[in-house]
């Protein structure tokens, strides 16, 4: 096992898959000569050349459409959006074509494309560059949406996303690139659509993903020092959403807090809470609490931005309110 950053894990997955399959190529703004906005593809241009590492115009509509068309014609493109905020410009290609072409052609055609997009706030990038619109994309059947929180999951899930025949939106939280974790040195994949228990506990279930998962783990660590045993479940995948481990944990603890960086209204947490009510009502001992970003455009000011985002203290307060 190697101890590496999330950035390195994603980079390794891309490089290994490009060596494994010559139909895999990368396209996006500044992915080539510059090496990617977050340095994920640094050195790829020299290693694989301009045919397989393509710098594109500043047009997400073109990136989304060209990638979807290339996938429909037998290639396996990995299209990088500089931030997930810009993916709105490619929404038609992603949810109206890539996500539906298999259905529309009666199973005769597929679009095995991976859309990579950094998301989330916390980097002081202003309101239009700091969205967490994961629920918007997860709303549409046909498009798989995943957002890993650890280097192990990031590498394994990205390799799986590249290999399967479905379109995948692979969301990388912009503040997690420096997170370190153990990653096997050999080839492996992590299935999409499978939640994972990251910490065992008995008193309460904390559910999260991406940055929300990391905050949930920090909260659970502090709660443990106060005698409160929290079980932490990582959703990892937003579509398909695997509620099995969540419900099983809820049946053990009878209480739950859901942590997400998106807005509370119409969000991922809303869906998880509704599913828990439907599938685990008989085990519910307290109202399900949700911890989410405050519903304002994220401020540019670092102090104000941090006040609007989720944090460990808010999760701990929610847990104690229930208990």
User: For all residues of the chain together, what is the average pLDDT?
Assistant: 97
Residue 244 CB burial class (10 angstroms; 0-12, 13-18, ≥19): exposed
Instruction: Report H helices in 175-301.
Output: 211-225, 244-253, 268-280
Residue where a domain stops, chosen among 183, 216, 238: 183
Q: Looking at the structure, do residues 133 and 270 belong to the same domain, yes or no?
A: no
Q: What pLDDT is stored for residue 175 in this prediction?
A: 95
Token readout for 205 is 């279930």
pLDDT tens for each residue of 93-111: 999 999 999 999 999 999 9
Residue where a domain stops, chosen among 152, 183, 214: 183
Q: Looking at the structure, do residues 308 and 226 belong to the same domain, yes or no?
A: yes
Residue 172 annotated among the catalytic residues of the structure: no
For residue 228, being part of any structural domain is answered with yes
Residue 60 annotated among the catalytic residues of the structure: yes
The phi and psi torsions of 21 (rounded to 5 degrees) equal -135, 115
Distance of CA 137 to the CA centre of its chain: 11
Q: Which H helix or E strand runs over 45?
A: helix 44-48
- Band the pLDDT of 28: cuts 50, 70, 90: very high
Roughly how many angstroms between the first and final C-alpha of the chain, as a whole number? 38
For residue 189, being part of any structural domain is answered with no
Q: pTM for this one?
A: 0.96
Q: Which H helix or E strand runs over 161?
A: helix 151-163
Residue where a domain stops, chosen among 148, 183, 218: 183
pLDDT tens for each residue of 112-162: 999 999 999 999 999 999 989 999 999 999 999 999 999 999 999 999 999
pLDDT, mean of residues 38-60? 96
Q: Out of 17, 60, 261, 305, which one is annotated catalytic?
A: 60
Supply the DSSP symbol for 90. G
- Band the pLDDT of 174: cuts 50, 70, 90: very high
Q: Out of 129, 173, 260, 305, which one is annotated catalytic?
A: 129
Q: Looking at the structure, do residues 244 and 288 belong to the same domain, yes or no?
A: yes
> In whole angstroms, what is the distance from residue 29 CA to residue 75 CA?
19
Q: Looking at the structure, do residues 14 and 128 belong to the same domain, yes or no?
A: yes
Beta bridge partners of 186: none
Token readout for 232 is 């932490």
Token readout for 237 is 């995948």
For residues 209-225, one letter each, b for 16 or more C-beta atoms within 10 angstroms of the residue's C-beta and e for the rest, the string is: bbbbbbbbbbbbeebee
Residue-number span of the structural domain to which 299 is assigned: 196-322
């Amino acid at each position: 096992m190697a101890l590496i950053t999330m950035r390195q894990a994603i980079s390794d997955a891309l490089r290994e898959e490009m060596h494994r399959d010559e139909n895999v190529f990368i396209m996006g703004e500044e992915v080539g000569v510059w090496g990617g906005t977050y340095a994920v593809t640094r050195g790829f241009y020299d290693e694989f050349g301009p045919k397989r590492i393509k710098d594109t115009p500043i047009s997400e509509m073109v990136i989304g459409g060209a990638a979807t068309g290339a996938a429909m014609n037998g290639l396996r493109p990995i299209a990088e959006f500089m931030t997930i905020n810009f993916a709105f410009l490619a929404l038609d290609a992603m949810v109206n074509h890539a996500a539906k072409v298999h259905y529309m052609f009666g199973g005769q055609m597929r679009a095995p494309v991976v859309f990579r997009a950094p998301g989330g706030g916390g980097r002081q990038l202003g309101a239009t560059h700091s969205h967490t619109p994961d629920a918007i994309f997860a709303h549409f059947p046909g498009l798989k949406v995943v957002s890993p929180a650890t280097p192990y999951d990031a590498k394994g899930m990205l390799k799986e996303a590249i290999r399967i025949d479905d379109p995948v939106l692979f969301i990388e939280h912009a503040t997690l690139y420096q997170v370190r974790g153990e990653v096997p040195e050999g080839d492996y994949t992590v299935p999409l659509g499978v939640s994972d228990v990251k910490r065992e506990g008995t008193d309460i279930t904390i559910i999260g993903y991406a940055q929300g998962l990391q905050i949930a783990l920090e909260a659970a660590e502090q709660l443990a020092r106060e005698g409160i045993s929290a079980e932490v479940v990582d959703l990892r995948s937003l579509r398909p959403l695997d509620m099995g481990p969540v419900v099983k944990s809820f049946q053990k603890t009878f209480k739950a807090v859901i942590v997400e960086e998106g807005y509370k209204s119409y969000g991922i947490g809303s869906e998880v809470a509704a599913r828990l009510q439907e599938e685990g009502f008989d085990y519910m001992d307290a109202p399900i609490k949700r911890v989410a970003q405050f519903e304002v455009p994220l401020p540019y000011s670092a102090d104000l931005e941090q006040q609007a985002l989720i944090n460990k203290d808010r999760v701990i307060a929610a847990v104690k309110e229930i208990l």
